[in-house]
Chains A and B, each alone.
Chain A
Amino acid sequence: MPKIQVKKKDTWIDMTPMSDVMVLLLTFFMLTSTFLKPEPVTVSTPMSVSEIKIPEVNVLSILISPEGQVFLDLDNQNDRIAVLERMASNYNIQLTDKEKYDFSIATSFGTPIQAFKQFMALDDEQKNEELKLLGIPTDSTDNQFKGWVLAAREVKGKDMVIAIKADSKTPYTAIKDVMSSLQDLKENRYNLITSLREVSTTPTGD
Chain B
Amino acid sequence: MMQGDTEGKRRKGEGKKFDTRVDFTPMVDMIMLLLTFFMLATTLSKPQTMEIAMPAKDTPKDKGDVAKESDAVTIYLGADNKIYYFLGIPEPETPNFLKETDFSATGLRKLLMDKNIRVVTQVNELKDQKTRLQISQEEYDQKVKELKGSPNTPVVVIKPLDNSNYDNLVSALDEMLIASVGKYAIADLDANDEKMLINSNVQFNVVD
Interface residues of chain A, those whose CB is within 8 Å of chain B, are 12, 14-16, 18-19, 22-23, 25-26, 29-30, 32-36, 45-54, 64, 163, 165-176, 179-180, 182-184, 186, 188-196, 199, 201-203, 205-206
Name A197's closest neighbour in chain B (CB-CB).
Answer: B174
Q: In the bound complex, what is the Cα–Cα distance between A129 and B29 (angstroms)?
A: 35
Residue pairs across A and B with CB atoms within 8 Å: the count is 185
- Within 8 Å of chain A (Cβ to Cβ): is B45? yes
Name A163's closest neighbour in chain B (CB-CB).
Answer: B49
Are A19 and B28 in touch, CB under 8 angstroms? yes
Q: In the bound complex, what is the Cα–Cα distance between A169 and B167 (angstroms)?
A: 6
How far is the CB of B102 from the nearest CB of chain A, in Å? Answer: 13
Interface residues of chain B, those whose CB is within 8 Å of chain A, are 21, 23-25, 27-28, 31-32, 34-35, 38-39, 41-57, 77, 105-106, 109, 113-114, 117, 120-121, 123-124, 127, 160-171, 173-174, 177-180, 186, 188, 206
Q: In the bound complex, what is the Cα–Cα distance between A199 and B177 (angstroms)?
A: 11
How far is the CB of A47 from the nearest CB of chain B, in Å? Answer: 8
Using Cβ atoms and an 8 Å threshold, which residues of chain A touch B114? 203
How far is the CB of B111 from the nearest CB of chain A, in Å? Answer: 12
Name A186's closest neighbour in chain B (CB-CB).
Answer: B56
- 9 further A-B contacts with Cβ under 8 Å, apart from A49-B178, A195-B45, are A12-B21, A48-B174, A48-B177, A50-B48, A172-B163, A172-B168, A194-B48, A194-B174, A203-B114
Using Cβ atoms and an 8 Å threshold, which residues of chain A touch B27? 15, 19
Known: A36-B43, A175-B169. A203 touches B57 (CB 8 A): no
Using Cβ atoms and an 8 Å threshold, which residues of chain B touch A199? 174, 178
